Chains A and B, each alone.
Chain A
Amino acid sequence: MKDFSNRYIMIFSVVMVVSVAILLSLTALLLQPRQEKNVEVEKKMQILSSINVESDKSDAVRLYDKYIRESFVINTEGNRTEGVDAFTVTLRSEQKKPLGDQSLPVFIAVADNGDTLHILPLEGKGLWGPIWGYVSLKEDLSTIAGVTFDHKGETPGLGAEINTTAFESQFHDKSLFENGRFVSVKVVKGGARPGNPHEVDGISGGTITSNGLEAMVHDGLVKYEKYLSQNRK
């Protein structure tokens, strides 16, 4: 291998780094609108999935407009906050604020059978990164109508199982409240006790993700406790 002068090495490095930077930023810039669209469509699909409406990339936007009647933001006292679009609220940055200042999004959907469903978003930590999801509640604001979970980078086949129908469907008809007290739903290692309305089975090999999910459901929904209690029918 030929020996190069320091001057050549410097110039080579600078040219290399600058051209790579230009190439990458151009690509990122060109692909960004497509990627953002994907993220938005995916969020709508997840919200729809929590009220048990199946959608795909092509009809998610249309179905979202059909089912979701209203969305607004409340605070932990249960009062509405004006001027914030619930769809654009990112929970991760809200969670860094003091509890009283947090914006809590609520989506109201009307199901095919005429029931009004409340959809509440969740965000928490799994093993490798963030996990998030949506919970829809029936009119008693305690019984779960459906859930959807997703994750950024949980291990495929282990923690990543949280977004499978098999896991999510366990939450159907579980209750958040017992005699007016908030108890949430627990993810139990080794299996839930049959008939218990506050427990679902954990995931073998995915204990940390399961625990993170349990904490996310509890910590996320406890903030809505006042709102849910006040508006219960």
Chain B
Amino acid sequence: MEKVEKEPLWSAKNKKLLTNPLGQDNPITVQVLGICSALAVTVKMQPAIVMAISVMVVLAVSNVVIAALRKMIPGRIRIIVQLVVIATMVILVDQFLKAFAFDVSKQLSVFVGLIITNCIIMGRLEAFAMANKPWPAFLDGLGNAWGYGLILVIVSFFREFLGSGTIMGFPVMEKLGVYNFGYEDNGMMILPPMALITVGLIIWVQRSRNKSLVETK
């Protein structure tokens, strides 16, 4: 029998799994997944960062579990199995946050539970983990969570800075003294529609820099 050559852990292909979702294969701006939570948790930076970390844990572990079980999972109930794995992970994350990071869990409140409905996770399990080995699936999970988190941080930075005049809760605008010149925080930025517009602007910038993402007519 021919011996299959073992792929190195950090092959170029595997590295791509980690870096592609940051840019040209970004889950939010290119795959347009996970928009819902990108709108909901980006008013302030801190919850956005914790949300990104939670999604990373859930996505990486679920990807590994599904990839490990991929040959045992009956095709007809695979979506249910994926959901059970995701829901279990989310409940575990939620329970641990409640026990060990109570303040953060209060801040994120319902959004931790809503990770279950984050399309990125189902999307990656179905598109990648069902057809790949655990290690690449793990990297794919990390990469996509990074890509998701990156957009969350960018959007929440602008929304918190322009909407509340703070960065990570630190009152930057107040320290700069701009309020004395009649500057006022833009209340629009803390409303959900502005997250959509901010994401739209990010997509615009990304596409004008990378023409390969623009659909040909």
Bound complex: CA A128 to CA B102 (Å): 20
Q: Which of B77, B80, B110, B187 meets A204, CB within 8 Å?
A: B187
* B100 nearest in chain A by CB position: A34
A interface residues, how many (CB within 8 angstroms):
34
A111: interface (CB < 8 Å) = no
* Inter-chain contacts of B98 with A (CB < 8 A): 31, 35, 38
B75: interface (CB < 8 Å) = yes
B81: interface (CB < 8 Å) = yes
Q: Which of B1-9, B39-47, B142-150, B198-206 contacts A (4 or more CB under 8 A)?
A: B39-47
* Inter-chain contacts of A9 with B (CB < 8 A): 74, 76-77
B31: interface (CB < 8 Å) = no
Task: Please determine whether A17 and B164 come into contact, CB atoms closer than 8 angstroms.
Answer: no
Given A23-B88, A27-B95, A31-B95, the answer on whether A42 and B44 have CB atoms closer than 8 Å is no
Task: Please determine whether B107 and A13 come into contact, CB atoms closer than 8 angstroms.
Answer: no
Q: Which of A13, A23, A38, A156 meets B41, CB within 8 Å?
A: A156
B210: interface (CB < 8 Å) = no
* Inter-chain contacts of A190 with B (CB < 8 A): none
Given A16-B81, A31-B99, A156-B41, the answer on whether A4 and B76 have CB atoms closer than 8 Å is yes
A129: interface (CB < 8 Å) = yes
Interface residues of A in 105-151 (CB under 8 A from B): 128-129, 150-151
Total A-B Cβ pairs within 8 A? 79
Interface string of B94-109 (1 = CB under 8 A from A): 0110111010001101
Task: Please determine whether A128 and B81 come into contact, CB atoms closer than 8 angstroms.
Answer: no
A20: interface (CB < 8 Å) = yes
* Inter-chain contacts of A38 with B (CB < 8 A): 98-99, 102
B173: interface (CB < 8 Å) = no
Task: Please determine whether A24 and B88 come into contact, CB atoms closer than 8 angstroms.
Answer: yes
* Inter-chain contacts of A153 with B (CB < 8 A): 109-110
Task: Please determine whether B75 and A3 come into contact, CB atoms closer than 8 angstroms.
Answer: yes
Interface residues of B in 106-139 (CB under 8 A from A): 106-107, 109-110
B214: interface (CB < 8 Å) = no
* Inter-chain contacts of B84 with A (CB < 8 A): 16-17, 20
* Inter-chain contacts of B80 with A (CB < 8 A): 13
Given A156-B41, A157-B44, the answer on whether A27 and B92 have CB atoms closer than 8 Å is yes
* Inter-chain contacts of A152 with B (CB < 8 A): 109-110
Interface string of B148-162 (1 = CB under 8 A from A): 000000000001100
Task: Please determine whether A128 and B110 come into contact, CB atoms closer than 8 angstroms.
Answer: yes
* Inter-chain contacts of A4 with B (CB < 8 A): 74-76
* Inter-chain contacts of B159 with A (CB < 8 A): 157
* A33 nearest in chain B by CB position: B99
Interface residues of A in 23-74 (CB under 8 A from B): 23-24, 27-28, 31, 34-35, 38, 42
Task: Please determine whether B77 and A13 come into contact, CB atoms closer than 8 angstroms.
Answer: yes
A84: interface (CB < 8 Å) = no
Given A156-B43, A158-B190, the answer on whether A1 and B75 have CB atoms closer than 8 Å is yes
Interface residues of B in 51-109 (CB under 8 A from A): 71-77, 80-81, 84, 88, 91-92, 95-96, 98-100, 102, 106-107, 109
Given A12-B74, A35-B99, the answer on whether A20 and B88 have CB atoms closer than 8 Å is yes
| Residue of B76, B92, B102, B159 most packed against chain A (CB within 10 A) | B102
Task: Please determine whether B74 and A24 come into contact, CB atoms closer than 8 angstroms.
Answer: no
Task: Please determine whether A156 and B47 come into contact, CB atoms closer than 8 angstroms.
Answer: yes
B163: interface (CB < 8 Å) = yes
* Inter-chain contacts of A13 with B (CB < 8 A): 77, 80
| Residue of A31, A154, A155, A160 most packed against chain B (CB within 10 A) | A155
* A150 nearest in chain B by CB position: B106
Bound complex: CA A128 to CA B110 (Å): 9
Query: What are 16 A-B contacts defined by CB distance under 8 Å?
Result: A3-B75, A13-B80, A16-B84, A20-B88, A34-B99, A35-B95, A35-B98, A35-B102, A128-B110, A129-B109, A150-B106, A151-B109, A157-B163, A157-B164, A158-B191, A204-B190
